[in-house]
């Protein structure tokens, strides 16, 4: 048996990361108006009552500044641990926007040509019937397939194997498969394709994808706690993951190891960190305004179909308000983040239950910030 001093030493090593986390968190500045906060909290309460989501975190940006964030409900229902603005959720496909921002930094540095064949930077991806460019892959126009079936029983969707090299292992899932359409012709959403973007980033930067994104996106944006969803690591403030059965019972979700798809759906983050990402994007701290505008401009499939997807970001106009952002969904998570560039405002909604539809809540909160939300009747 271990001696008492050794046990205390082990306990200290286990607790220390949690202590450092708490001590490194900046003091929250309560700048959001009381009226808007009341409206947002009312919208969250209604959403949680309707969806039965165990926990969620919300953050808002106004005037290009991070103003307010809060957690609601439980991050861990079994241990009655509350959600907070620091709680780490699976971002799922929001990861694509982070990856795209990193790729556009390489474009600015002239280390990446969006219109060169991807094999220039990722020779591990075999040539197809027509050349594929990074621009096409980022806009889901390359013809690369998504998951094989899209169901939870798909070994790709429900992968349980851990990979130490996420890019090479991820490529092996799809690199030898035929394209589902000619490059540039049609929109085919593909999380697999973003593993190829990760490979391109590695080739263009001569760095590992995870390291490059950390140093060039997360560090300058102040996203101190965003990290890979490593199922074996002890990660302070990581939420538990839930789903709701057809009968309405909330239970733990299926196991997932996302180490094969980090660029397209494998990052963990908090509402606080994602709000900082929005601030960095709005204030041109990560990429230049012209590069940002390019990243936010929807592509045009050659078949003439309508497309509102740009380079790793969705782009919409609703009630004359132009918005960019992305949603995400996978085992134990449903996420949405929005930016209204003209308002210099942003919203983050992260939940710990799959298929929870947070997009409506995110839009309601954005309307509150825009001053167009309906005032609840007393």
Top-confidence residue, 127 or 15: 127
Contacting residues for 232 by C-beta, under 8 A, at least 6 apart: 162
Q: What is the pLDDT of residue 157?
A: 87
How is residue 76 written in tokens? 């861990």
pLDDT band for 24, please (50, 70, 90 cuts).
Answer: very low
How far apart (Å, rounded) are the C-alpha atoms in residues 45 and 51? Answer: 10
Cβ neighbours around 82 below 10 Å, total? 12
The contacts of residue 105 (CB under 8 Å, 6+ apart) are 216, 217, 286, 287
- pTM of the predicted structure, to 2 decimals: 0.90
**Does 144 have pLDDT greater than 90?**
yes
pLDDT tens digit string along 321-365? Answer: 999 999 999 999 999 999 999 999 999 999 999 999 999 999 999
* pLDDT for res 151: 58
- What are the residues whose beta carbons fall under 8 Å from the beta carbon of 177, sequence distance 6 or more? 145
Q: pLDDT at position 290, please?
A: 98
349 vs 151: CA distance, rounded Å: 25
Which positions ≥6 away from 103 have C-beta within 8 Å? 112, 134, 138, 197, 200, 201, 311, 312
Spacing of C-alpha 229 from chain mean position: 11
- More reliable by pLDDT, 318 or 280: 280
pLDDT at 124: 98
Structural domain spans, the chain: 29-370
- Determine how β-strand 345-351 pairs with β-strand 65-76: unpaired
C-alpha 75/C-alpha 57 separation (Å) is 9
pLDDT, tens digit (0-9, with 9 covering 90-100), for 173-231 = 999 999 999 999 999 999 999 999 999 999 999 999 999 999 999 999 999 999 999 99
Question: 314 falls in which pLDDT band (50, 70, 90)?
Answer: very high
Give the pLDDT band (50/70/90) at residue 155. Answer: confident
Do 102 and 221 meet the contact criterion of CB atoms below 8 Å apart?
Answer: no
Which residues, 6+ apart, have CB-to-CB distance to 343 below 8 Å?
Answer: 62, 321, 369, 370
CA torsion angle for 220, 223, 225, 228 (degrees, to 10)? -80
> How does DSSP classify residue 133?
B
DSSP state of 150: -
Q: Among all chains, which residue has been given the structure tokens 């795209």?
A: 100
- Output the CA–CA distances (angstroms, integers) from residue 144 to 26, 76, 138, 277, 305, in the order listed: 42, 37, 11, 28, 18
Nearest alpha-carbon partner for 212 in 102, 291, 98, 76:
102
- CA neighbor of 278 nearest in space, from 298, 261, 292, 259: 292
Distance CA 79, CA 88 (A): 16
Res. 154: pLDDT tops 80: no
Percent of the chain with pLDDT over 90: 86
Going by C-alpha positions, the residue among 90, 81, 72 that lies closest to residue 353 is 90
CATH architecture entry for 29-370? 3-Layer(aba) Sandwich (3.40)
pLDDT in tens, 227-283: 999 999 999 999 999 999 999 999 999 999 999 999 999 999 999 999 999 999 999
Residues facing 127 on adjacent strands: none
């Amino acid at each position: 048996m271990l001696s008492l001093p050794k046990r205390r030493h082990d306990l200290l090593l286990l607790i220390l990361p949690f202590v450092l986390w708490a001590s490194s968190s900046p003091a929250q500045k309560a700048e959001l108006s009381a009226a808007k906060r009341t409206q947002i909290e009312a919208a969250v309460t209604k959403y949680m009552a309707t969806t039965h989501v165990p926990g969620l975190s919300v953050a808002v940006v106004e005037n290009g500044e991070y103003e307010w964030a809060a957690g609601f409900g439980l991050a861990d229902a079994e241990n009655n641990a509350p959600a907070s603005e620091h709680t780490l959720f699976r971002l799922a496909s929001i990861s694509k926007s982070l990856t795209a921002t990193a790729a556009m930094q390489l474009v600015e540095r002239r280390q990446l040509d969006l219109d060169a064949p991807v094999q220039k930077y990722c020779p591990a991806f075999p040539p197809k019937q027509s050349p594929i460019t990074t621009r096409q892959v980022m806009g889901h126009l390359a013809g690369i397939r998504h998951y094989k079936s899209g169901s939870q029983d798909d070994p790709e969707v429900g992968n349980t194997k851990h990979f130490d090299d996420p890019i090479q292992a991820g490529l092996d899932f799809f690199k030898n498969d035929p394209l589902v359409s000619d490059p540039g012709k049609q929109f085919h959403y593909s999380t697999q394709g973003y593993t190829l973007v990760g490979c391109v980033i590695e080739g263009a930067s001569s760095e590992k994808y995870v390291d490059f994104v950390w140093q060039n996106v997360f560090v300058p944006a102040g996203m101190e706690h965003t990290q890979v969803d490593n199922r074996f690591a002890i990660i302070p403030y990581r939420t538990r993951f839930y789903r709701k059965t057809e009968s309405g019972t909330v239970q733990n979700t299926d196991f997932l190891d996302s180490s094969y798809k980090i660029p397209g759906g494998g990052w963990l983050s908090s509402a606080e960190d994602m709000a900082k990402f929005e601030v960095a994007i709005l204030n041109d701290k990560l990429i230049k305004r012209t590069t940002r505008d390019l990243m936010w401009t929807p592509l045009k499939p050659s078949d003439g179909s309508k497309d509102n997807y740009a380079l790793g970001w969705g782009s919409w106009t609703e009630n004359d308000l132009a918005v960019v952002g992305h949603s995400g969904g996978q085992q134990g998570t449903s996420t949405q983040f929005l930016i209204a560039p003209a308002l210099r405002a942003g919203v983050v909604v992260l939940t710990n239950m799959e298929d929870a539809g947070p997009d409506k809540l995110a839009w309601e909160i954005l309307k509150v910030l825009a001053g167009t939300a309906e005032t609840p009747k007393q």
